[in-house]
Amino acid sequence: MPKPTDPQSPATRLVTGGRRAEWTGTAAQPGAVVNPPVWRASTHLYPNAAALKSGPQTNEDGRFFYGRRGSPTQWALAEALTALEPGGHGTMLYPSGVAAITGALLSVLSPGDVLLMTDSAYDPSRGFADGFLKRFGIETRYYDPTVGAGIADLICDRTRAILMESPGSLTFEVQDVPAICQAARAARPDIVLLIDNTWATGHFMPALALGADMSIIACTKYIVGHSDVMLGSVTTTERFYPRLRQTAQALGTVVSPDDAWLALRGLRTLDVRLRQHQASALQIAHWLAEQPQVARVLHPALPSCPGHDLWQRDFTGSTGLFSFVLKGGSDAARAALIDTLSLFGIGYSWGGFESLCIPVDPARCRSATSWPPTGDDNALVVRLHIGLEDPADLIADLAKGLAAFTMTP
């Protein structure tokens, strides 16, 4: 599919990506629209038997074949997401972020392979590796997210892929992605480098430009932005796109045009939403760092957070998700903090317009590294997603929660 060639800024690409004239019309035509419509269809009709017979040979992106292969609604979203990642050749859509992670891994791994996965990875990524992949003879080895170029020492003759995630889902370690990619390729040129780029999206971290081969996003989060769609995507280079696409089609992976349309709508406002999430989260993170009940704040954009220098180098912004570590306390006190909050919902996911708060226990998701790194067994962690509410109101709400924490034994 054609890629934009104009030197547009990332914010402009969010608005213009996927708006091809054949899907929206042109200004000179009656009925031209800004957004591609929702194309709902399982069956695509052919004009004659000869055209039907040639169908499999013309099964390519942007051409009608069968509903499972997409329509202009899905193609427009995929093309816009590809434009989000400099160096991207194509994007496959998936019905959830987890499906995107598993689909990407299955496209490159075979029985007997070794997968290296960051020890700070999203818990369902670990579950898939330790369960499904293990049953099919694929071994997963976990590595310290701060390993950097030292990843070369972990690569063996069976190592096929590395799954990075930067920052980590719960404890927000920033990985040295360029160093890992460079060292891994020097050790084994055919290795495949994947990264879960959900926290920053390609808008705030150009993962492929930093050396990754596949950039995975749980579009459920910031791309959709309204907590009403489950969706995932994988954007990759020309080298790996055919295999990614073939694997997705073999597995029957498809997303509904309605969900794709909602994600495309959300994508148009990603720049302004992320910048507001960033500003509010930073204001709250700085406030939390000054509270006596808080031992430390795990936010990559704070100078006190390990990996801050890498964040400054590789990212162009930060988002609304971060954690903080409580000073002392009990599980009951942490629960009291969370239960006292009125503006923070208690629930999984993040990236929507609403603020969320959950207790997290990173130790249970570690095997190559320990948590907490300081050896304090009583380091209780709370993860926040800062939404689009007024940050002053959120701070007042958190102040009440911290007071409840203090009062609960």
Same-domain pairing of 165 and 224:
yes
**Is it the case that residue 98 has pLDDT exceeding 80?**
yes
Work out the average pLDDT over 316-340: 97
Q: Known catalytic residue: 122? A: yes
Q: Write the CATH number for 374.
A: 3.90.1150.10
**Candidate list 196, 213, 259, 314, residue with the active-site label:** 196
Structure tokens, 169: 């889902």
**Is it the case that residue 2 has pLDDT exceeding 50?**
no
Same-domain pairing of 184 and 329:
no
Structure tokens, 75: 């193609």
Of 245, 268, 291, the residue at which a domain comes to its end is 268
Q: What is the pLDDT of residue 370?
A: 87
Of 211, 239, 268, the residue at which a domain comes to its end is 268
Please count the structural domains in the chain: 2
Q: Of 11-25, 184-198, 275-289, where does mean pLDDT reach its minimum?
A: 11-25
Same-domain pairing of 85 and 47:
yes
Q: Given the structure tokens 């489950």, which residue do they identify?
A: 230
Q: Write the CATH number for 169.
A: 3.40.640.10
Higher pLDDT, 44 or 307: 307
Same-domain pairing of 101 and 239:
yes
Q: Known catalytic residue: 68? A: yes
Q: Is residue 218 part of a domain?
A: yes
Structure tokens, 81: 């997401």
Indicate the helix (H) or strand (E) that contains 383: strand 381-385
**Candidate list 19, 69, 122, 271, residue with the active-site label:** 122
Give the global pTM: 0.93
Q: Known catalytic residue: 221? A: yes
Same-domain pairing of 31 and 128:
yes
C-alpha to C-alpha distances, 385 to 263, 278, 285, 358, nearest whole angstrom: 20, 11, 11, 9
Q: Is residue 3 part of a domain?
A: no
Same-domain pairing of 359 and 275:
yes
Q: Is residue 229 part of a domain?
A: yes
**Is it the case that residue 187 has pLDDT exceeding 90?**
yes
Work out the average pLDDT over 125-133: 97
**Candidate list 221, 268, 296, 334, residue with the active-site label:** 221
Q: Is residue 1 part of a domain?
A: no
Same-domain pairing of 264 and 275:
no
Helix (H, G, I), strand (E, B) or coil at 201: helix
- The rounded distance, in Å, linking the Cα atoms of 385 and 220 is 14
Q: Is residue 328 part of a domain?
A: yes
Count of Cβ atoms closer than 10 Å to residue 180 Cβ: 28
Same-domain pairing of 319 and 236:
no
Phi-psi region of 95 (alpha: psi -120 to 50; beta: other; left: phi over 0): alpha
**Is it the case that residue 384 has pLDDT exceeding 80?**
yes
Same-domain pairing of 121 and 49:
yes
Same-domain pairing of 183 and 276:
no
- The residue segments making up the domain with residue 18 are 10-268
- The rounded distance, in Å, linking the Cα atoms of 44 and 172 is 45
Same-domain pairing of 226 and 294:
no
Report whether 198 contacts 167 (CB < 8 A): no
Same-domain pairing of 279 and 264:
no
Written as one string, the DSSP assignment of 271-306 is HHHHHHHHHHHHHHHHHHHT-TTEEEEE-TTSTTST
**Candidate list 3, 40, 53, 68, residue with the active-site label:** 68
Q: Is residue 5 part of a domain?
A: no
Of 268, 303, 318, the residue at which a domain comes to its end is 268
**Confidence band (pLDDT; 50, 70, 90) for 377?**
low
State pLDDT tens for residues 218-242.
Answer: 999 999 999 999 999 999 999 999 9
Q: Known catalytic residue: 334? A: no
Helix (H, G, I), strand (E, B) or coil at 266: helix
Beta strand 232-236 with 90-94 is antiparallel
- The rounded distance, in Å, linking the Cα atoms of 288 and 361 is 19
